[in-house]
Structure formats: structure tokens, C-alpha cells
Amino acid sequence: MQMVIIGAGNVATVLGSQFREAGHRIVQVFSRQPAHAARLAGSLQCGHVSRWEDILPDADVYLAALSDDALRGLGGVLSLPGRLVVHTGGSVPREVLLEVSAHSGVLYPLQSLRRELGPYPDIPLLVDANDPDDRQRIADLARSISGQVREAGNEARLKLHLAAVLVNNFTNHLYVLADEYCRAEGADFSMLLPLIRETAGRLSRIAPGDAQTGPAARGDAATIEKHLSLIDNYKDIREVYTLFTRQIREKGKV
């Protein structure tokens, strides 16, 4: 298929590269930032533009990898009647692109993507569309780069997006707090990396609830008090530690 990539950020870069490797022809990259468009177009070996009116009108698929706000306003600046247009947002409904094209939908990668961290393993892709035939076309497109493709309507996709924030964004914030604490206290954060990998890896074998360990799960009040005394001067860490300890202890009583 001939594709136009609208956007030049992390998602556009990773998916654009994967579609190209799968044999699709990327014919153009659009970004309002000319330098960003040129950088991605260079890696995809295609043309680039920075004005809406210069977007090619006759590609097979248009992949809009934009912020949620930009997606909501896309119908005001772009019209592609008869063309298949898909967005990559997890929390944005499929109907948001109807002003751009009646043939529109969603191809949402359920993964945290950073262009500098590739190559990526098989990325789960959630697909949806306003028309069943378009949904099938998007699913076929998704299967060209992923073995994990599922249909997911607006509500199902939003719920998974929220869960993804919990397991990825919020968990990474805990890593940030731990890293800051280690730096301040002269500890080596890299010593925690095997623990991080093991904690994530065991979830493919057992349920999260069965994997819970630590002083809160054991009801080890003495250790909890020692920890709290160490973080008296770390307000953010103490707040999170107290909240998580209370919730883990309460779940252990169920």
C-alpha cells in the first residue's frame, strides 16, 4: 500500500519504519515542523511537506500519529474524501476523523514507543473503524506488521489505555522516584535492574495478585517503620510509599 504519515514523532517514526520494512511504500511525511518532517522522511526515503494543502490526495492509507488535541482538530484542516484515514490514539474515539474521511478508524499500538529504543518486538495493535469493510482493511494492514491484532471499540480501547497508563507511565514514575532517591543517598540504581526485569517477567507465569511480595504484603510493621524513617525528607516518596503500603495491606485482608 502507498502510505502518507501525518506526524513525525515517536509513534510515526516507529510505525512508519515497520510499515516500510513490511513492504508498504511510504510516499510522504507531513509535519508542521519542517526539520522533523525532513528527518523522518530521510529515514523512510520519501518526500516531506509542512503545509496541509501539500499533502498528497491519492495515497491508499493516511496514518495520523498526532496528539489527541491535534486529532480532534484534524477535520478543520484536512479533507481526504474516499481515502482510508486512521489515527493511533488510545483514548480518542474512532468518529473523530469522520470530517476528514467517511473511511476512517483506529490503529492503536498498545506499547510505549520511543524512536531511539528500537527495534521493537511484536507490538499489540488494536483496530476499529466506522465501517465494517474499513475495519477489515485496517486489521489486514495491522497484521502486516504485528501478530497481535485485535478489534477494540472506543470503550474497550479507552479502558486498556487507562490500564496501560497504570502499568507503564505510573510504574516508570516509581522508577524515577527510586532513581532520584538512589542518587541522593549514594546507592546504585542499576543494582535494581535485575529485580525490575524479574518482577515484570513473572507476570507471564502468574497473576499480579499472586506475585505481590514485600513488607506490606507480609504485614511487617517493623520494616515499614524503618523505611518511613529513611524517607522523612522525601515528601513525594513518602506519600507514594504510605499510599501503596495501605492499599497492599488492605488487599491482603480480602
Q: Check residue 167 and give its pLDDT.
A: 96
Q: Is the peptide bond before 208 cis (omega within 30 degrees of 0)?
A: no
d(CA 127, CA 200): 26
Instruction: Count, in order, helices (H) and strands (E) of the chain.
Output: 11, 8
Q: Give yes or no for a contact between 157 and 213, defined as CB atoms under 8 angstroms apart.
A: no
Q: Which of the residues in the chain have pLDDT under 50?
A: none
Q: Check residue 252 and give its pLDDT.
A: 81
Q: Check residue 198 and give its pLDDT.
A: 96
Residue 248 host element (H or E) = helix 235-252
Collapsing DSSP states into helix, strand and coil, what is residue 39?
A: helix
CB atoms within 10 A of CB 241: 18
Q: Check residue 87 and give its pLDDT.
A: 98
Q: What domains appear along the chain, each with residue ranges and CATH number?
A: 2-152 (3.40.50.720), 158-252 (1.10.1040.20)
Q: Give yes or no for a contact between 127 and 102, defined as CB atoms under 8 angstroms apart.
A: no
Q: How far is CA 160 from CA 125, 145, 150, 196, in A?
A: 12, 21, 12, 22
Q: Check residue 120 and give its pLDDT.
A: 80
Q: Check residue 253 and give its pLDDT.
A: 72
Q: Check residue 238 and give its pLDDT.
A: 97
- Would you give the DSSP letter of residue 116? G
Q: Check residue 117 and give its pLDDT.
A: 78
Residue whose cell numbers read 495515497? 59
**pTM (2 d.p.):** 0.91
